[in-house]
Amino acid sequence: MVDLPQTMQRKFLSNLAFLLFLNLLVKPFWIFGIDRAVQNQVGAEVYGSYFALFNFAFILNVFLDLGISNFNNRNVSQHEHLLGKYFPRIIALRVLLAIGYMLICIITGLAMGYSNHQMMMLILLCFNQFLLSSILFLRSNISGLQLFKMDSLVSVMDRLLMIVTCGWLLFYAQLSTPFQIEWFVYLQTFAYLATALFALVVVLKRGGPFTFNWNPAMLVLILKQSLPFALLILLMSIYGRVDSVLLERMLPDGKEQTGIYAQAFRLLDATNMIAYLFAVLLLPMFSRMLKLKEDVKPLVHLASKLILIPAFTLGMICWYYATDLMSLLYQEHAEESGRILSLLMFSLIPMAGAYIIGTLLTANGSLKQLNIIALIGVTSSLIFNATLIPKLGAYGAAITCFITQLLAFFLQLLVSIKLFKFKVDKELIFLISPVFLVLILGYLSSGFDWKLGSAIMLFSGGILTLLSLIPNLKSLRKLRLE
């Protein structure tokens, strides 16, 4: 009989493979086919205004959830029988939170001096954030029940609908007027609503029976338990997304600078979505393993090798060939956004690491330490952005992003070493050695044509990732046989 850590490794690998397959099939078309095409159609300034408003709504969306989804995922993973008890009451609570969220966004938007047109756009984006937050909550129940393949399907459904509907408008419809950014937002509303309804049906079917009744005492208890998660999400959202909001507000040409920054950030966001998938799978797995007092180190090592080596590879490609990539993707501002991308993509490395270590600390219930680290991240982001944006514009925001993400990951790593007694061993060597080889190969390939150099680095990074998995061959063989 296979021990639990190996079972979890195999379960992680099989579900990760399915999740990655679906997301790599759908999300690149969404990001580079649809989202990029929308920016090329409407221009950097219009898209920059939308991007700043989107991130403004995204930062405040913690008030839609107050950490309930993360609390719920961890709780359902450890105690599946509580789903029927918590789910109906959380639904009622979320309706109240949605009303409060809309009021907070409207009042804050007016205080920031947004125009009437921007306020109308903000209200639409806030409603979309409510739908998106509802999807994430429903997914927390689905993954908490260990229904990872169904969760994977739900994770791409909204993007798939956007590809079909928005793609038709962009590339096939005979439009009498140019594409409008408002159409983009309306189609997001349709895609999120359809996905939320589908996920709700899955939860009701697989997690029932449910008894819907009003219980204020239970709602207060849920809020009290989820508030540490809410604070963490708010702080992380601020230091992860406030750069574009500050760019748009602080500079005379803020909308255009934000649009230029968005061009480079889109590539970081695309790869970050893949890294985020690790956290989606790891949180319920870590939670269950910690409850059963099983060793999490093998799963940490496995996930680290699968995510960090590719992250270093992509960072090196963008360091050397950023302008070429931006010229391929965009019709304007390629050189400026390429300069930003060359630095911004290195932020992916600490961000990817944080999806593993931060998720482990979340599963462990180390919310106090994580909130302190996130508060340090917010302070760092605000100080560096306030100092660098007026002098360097969007490039200053990129510098701030890298410094802040690196600082947050380093502090998380220190805490995890103390709590879990991580030590230098052969598994760590199998992670560090390929990273150094990627750096060397990146330097040697930098003199080639950008397409050839990128291909060499991608191929080499893939091979090195596979070689780093040698200590896990036993689990991989069992996965293949089963």
| 426-473 per-position pLDDT tens digit | 656 666 677 777 778 777 777 778 888 888 888 888 887 777 766 655
Task: Report pLDDT for 300.
Answer: 82
- The whole-number pLDDT of residue 476 equals 46
* Mean pLDDT, residues 8-15: 62
Number of domains in the chain: 1
pLDDT per position as a tens digit, 253-263:
888 888 888 88
Report which of 213, 199, 245, 336 is spatially closest to residue 60, judged by C-alpha positions. 245
Per-residue pLDDT reduced to its tens digit, 53-89: 998 898 888 777 776 666 655 555 555 555 555 666 6
The candidate with the shortest Cα–Cα distance to 229, out of 282, 192, 283, is 283
Q: How confident is the model at residue 292 (pLDDT cuts 50, 70, 90)?
A: confident
The domain in which residue 459 lies consists of 4-481
Whole-number pLDDT of residue 303: 82
Share of the chain above pLDDT 70, in %: 82
- The whole-number average pLDDT for the span 17-36 is 79
State residue 1's pLDDT score: 38
Rounded to an integer, what distance in angstroms lies between the CA atom of residue 478 and that of residue 482?
6
Mean predicted confidence (pLDDT) in 299-315: 84
Q: What is the pLDDT of residue 479?
A: 40
306/302 Cα distance (integer angstroms): 6
Per-residue pLDDT at 208: 60
* Residue for token pair 């994430």: 136
Check pLDDT > 70 for residue 327: yes
The CB-side HSE value for 143 (13 A sphere, CA atoms) comes to: 34
pLDDT above 70 for 480 = no
In this structure, how many other beta carbons lie within 10 angstroms of the beta carbon of residue 438? 25
pLDDT score for 482: 39
Residue 334, pLDDT score: 83
Average pLDDT score, the chain: 80
- pLDDT-derived band at 3 (thresholds 50, 70, 90) equals very low
Enter the pTM of the model: 0.71
The average pLDDT across 21-38 equals 81
Amino acid 471: pLDDT: 62
The per-residue pLDDT for 210 is: 56
Residue 4 confidence (pLDDT) above 50: no
Using CA atoms, how far apart are residues 364 and 358, in angstroms rounded to an integer?
A: 10
Peptide bond into 298 cis (omega under 30): no
pLDDT of residue 372: 94
169-222 residue pLDDT tens: 888 877 778 888 999 999 999 999 999 999 888 888 876 655 556 566 666 766
